[in-house]
Amino acid sequence: MTIWNNENSEAREGDLVELVGVGYKHIILQLEKDGVLHTHRGVVQHNDLIGKPWGTKTTSHTGNPFFLLQPSLADLIRGIPRSTQIMYPKDIGFILLTLGVGPGTKVLEAGTGSGGLTTALTYSVGNEGHVFSYDKREEQQKTAIRNIEKFGLAKRVTFKIRDIADGFDEVGVDALFLDVPNPYDYLVQVKTALKPGGFFGTILPTTNQVIRLLPELRRNFFSFIEVVETSIRYYKPESERFRPVDRMVAHTGYLIFARPFLTPLEDSLESEDGDPDENSGKNQ
């Protein structure tokens, strides 16, 4: 059980909680005895929150309202201080599902970045699983480590400073995700770490990178290659004028998934008509 998603019906000392104030401003904080939170709308005493049930409304010394909440995973990820491009919830949800990351999964990622995906991975693998997170930039990874520790997830992840050209220490991991600009340079290392038929994924912002990656995947006997863009569109939640919002994110990156094998599948499995099995998920 992580410290924030606990089973208690009220906030306790040490819990990571979320306060929501005027304008739906989100603040994530860890409750400490006698702690004090300074906001633009006044001071809130931690002691006024400790022991209170979720959903409690409190007020700052200036009379502004704040609601006490368990933080959502998406809010935690969105709230991470970022020194690099953050991964978006729209992509993270799809990545977790496609890689099959869940309780007990052993998953490897590189680079760590700001730790957005690391947070989701460590949350999802549970105490029985484990995350191995590589980055070559020490300063970068320190920031991510601080976040993961704040979220109470540190014991589920091993951080390493490494140029992944030198390879990974692990073998037989269930899933492996690369968030680096040049994944095509590390496919041999990926294959060594990932079990045969394991789940590989990567995200690339430009078509040029995808174009460069695809032949390298095949050359290294990766199969079930899928390239996919996700997008989400929010609606204004107004019953009398129900319509989409005016603007949306147009692009984050292309997601590429594949599974490595010891021999090339494609030579064997292409059917005469070239049509993929309709259960293969294309177009879904």
Site for a second copy in 118-157 (CB under 8 A): 120, 123-128
Can you say how many angstroms the Cα of residue 230 is from the centroid of all Cα atoms in its chain? Answer: 15
Told to check if 210 binds a second copy by CB under 8 A, we report yes
Told to check if 81 binds a second copy by CB under 8 A, we report no
Cβ nearer to a second copy, comparing 35 with 93: 93
Q: Which residue in the set 30, 39, 70, 220 belongs to the binding site for a second copy (CB under 8 A)?
A: 70
Least distance between a second copy and beta carbon 138 (Å):
28
Q: Which residue in the set 134, 151, 186, 224 belongs to the binding site for a second copy (CB under 8 A)?
A: 224
Distances in Å between the Cα of 166 and the Cα atoms of 169, 176, 269 are 9, 16, 33
Q: Which residue in the set 32, 163, 169, 229 belongs to the binding site for a second copy (CB under 8 A)?
A: 229
Residue 144 in tokens: 């991510």
Least distance between a second copy and beta carbon 119 (Å):
11
Q: What are phi and psi of 194, to 5 degrees?
A: -90, 145
Residue 21 in tokens: 């104030």
Which stretch, 134-142, 144-152, 159-167, 226-234, contacts a second copy (CB under 8 A)?
226-234
DSSP H or E stretch at residue 130: strand 130-135
Interface pattern 49-68 for a second copy (x via CB under 8 A): ----xxxxx-------x-xx
CB of 17 closer than 8 Å to CB of 31: yes
Helix (H, G, I), strand (E, B) or coil at 221: coil
DSSP H or E stretch at residue 258: strand 254-260
Burial class (CB in 10 A: 0-12, 13-18, 19+), 141: buried
Q: Please state, in angstroms and rounded to a whole number, the distance separating the CA atoms of residues 74 and 26.
A: 12
Least distance between a second copy and beta carbon 47 (Å):
20
Told to check if 188 binds a second copy by CB under 8 A, we report no
CB of 80 closer than 8 Å to CB of 119: yes
Told to check if 211 binds a second copy by CB under 8 A, we report yes
Interface pattern 6-25 for a second copy (x via CB under 8 A): -x-x----------xxxxxx
Least distance between a second copy and beta carbon 130 (Å):
11
Least distance between a second copy and beta carbon 144 (Å):
19
